[in-house]
Structure formats: structure tokens, C-alpha cells
Amino acid sequence: MNKTHKINGYTDLYALMGYPARHSFSPFIHNYFFNKYKINSVYLSFEILPIDFKTAFSGAHKLGFSGINLTMPFKEEVLNYIEELDEDAKTIRAVNTIKFDKEKKTIKGFNTDINGFMKSLDDNWFKWDESNCLVIGAGGAAKSSIYALIKKKVKSIYIYNRTIDRAYEIKSLFNEIENNKLVILKELNIVPINEINLIVNCTPIGMGENNISDDNTIPIPLDWNLNRKYIFEMVYKPVYTPLVKKSIKDGAKIIFGTEMLLNQAAFSFEIWKGFFPDSRYLKKYFKNSFK
């Protein structure tokens, strides 16, 4: 890690807003990038009560912040306060990155989760056009993942969520783009698991848990054989979730939640600073530090 730069009156301000937010690795990641490239910027984390979000967002703008990241539950609410969206954010109606343009005095929203998801799989040599995919969950992470899979033209996308109405909402969102490839599962165990190449966990199941013998801590049936399948675990705390531990045991190819976190952060950094940062050190750090 490089020596921390000095903060002064010309330091650009960036932050994460969410509820909760204190657990996030985002300040660690972005401040590493700023230090690595000797950029006079600092990144903070703010845990904002939902009732206070509008005031906090306006305050960040008025205080001269250069950009912010958003996590749950603000990725959709922020749409009410933005004049301009990039195409990805416009399509899935969710924003995770804000750029405050001080010269043009504009606020633009982006969604870097989509590119972060695609890069995470590209870095692991995933074959998009040959794959049948299962996405578990129906929140913002699921929307981003499904849209990325549609853009990459995979063979089929199975969607499972415990509340089936939420899954149908996602299918409805993408009906105009791709209808034939999206299959809603009423029960998870009816998926043709032998034909599935990629499983994406977009639920919080496994967060903070360590015991894979309890089926409440893992989002898939314990008797599934994951050998040679790609397993994309969105949960990153702990890094080695029950799903990751089972995947290692079964011989699966794992994309860790920290890889997704790093890649979406790098795309946010590129929006703010104009170039894509090298995150190889951080990727190794996360993988080796939390076993």
C-alpha cells in the first residue's frame, strides 16, 4: 500500500451512501486507488437513514462532492433526483454511481454493476453464448446480472426468488429486450441443474454465516453437484461463504463477491477520473486475507 496523501482544501470528496454502509470495503478500495495514483481525493462512507436520504444527497451536491456510490436501499430512489442517466441505468432503473459535474452543474447517474458483472466473468474466461444460467434473487443485483446476461446473449436465464411476484417483475422489465430466454422457476429444485453452466447468488443468504450443514445459510440444495460449474457469489462478507466453501469442495469455478465489488468500483473510478485503475493487488489481497 502506498503512503496516504495529504488532505487539504483542494481534496476532491467521494463517498458511499447506504443503509447499512459501515461494513463496506468501498472506502478501502477507492482510497487505495487514490493513493496508488497520487490523486488528491478521499472516499468516505455514510450510513444514511432512508428518511434522510433526499437531504443527504442534496447536501453532498451542495457541499461540492465530486461523486458518490449508492448501495441499498437508495439505488432506485435516487432516480427522483437525477437529470441524466446512462443507458444501463436507464434500462434497469437503478443507479450505483453518481457524477457531480461542477462545471456543467449537472448530476448524472450510472450503473457500473452491469459492467462489473461482465468483467468478473470475462476475467474468468466464461463462455457466454454456450451457457444456461440460473440467477437466484430478484433485487438490484439480480436485475444487473440478468441484464448483463441478456446483453451477452447467453442461451437461457432461469430466475428463482422466494417471492415469485418479484421474479415476474424482473421478467416484465426485460420483456421488450428479451422474453424467450427468461424462465421463472416456481420451485428451485425443478431447474435442469445438469444443464446449468452458471449459478449467480444475488441474495444475502450466507452473509455472516459459516456452517454449510444448515440449508438456511446456502441458497441452493446441498445435494447439487457443482463440479465444473461457474458459481458467482455476490456476498462478500464473509468472502468464503457457505456457497463458496461448497463450490470449492465440489470443484466449481468461483467468482468471489470481492471480484464484483472491485470491478464495479473500478468502473466508477473510471467515470470519475477518466481511466481504468489496476486492481490486481486488491484482488489478491481479498482472496488471501479472508480464508
Catalytic residues: 75
Amino acid letter, residue 61: H
Contacts of 3 (CB under 8 A, 6+ apart): 35
How far is residue 144's CA from residue 150's CA, in Å, rounded to a whole number?
A: 10
Peptide bond into 204 cis (omega under 30): no
**φ, ψ for residue 265 (rounded to 5)?**
-65, -40
What distance in Å separates the CA atoms of residue 159 and residue 183, rounded to the nearest whole number?
6
Task: State which H helix or E strand residue 182 sits in.
Answer: strand 182-185
The one-letter amino acid at 90: K
Determine the Cα–Cα distance for residues 55 and 107; give it in Å rounded to an integer: 15
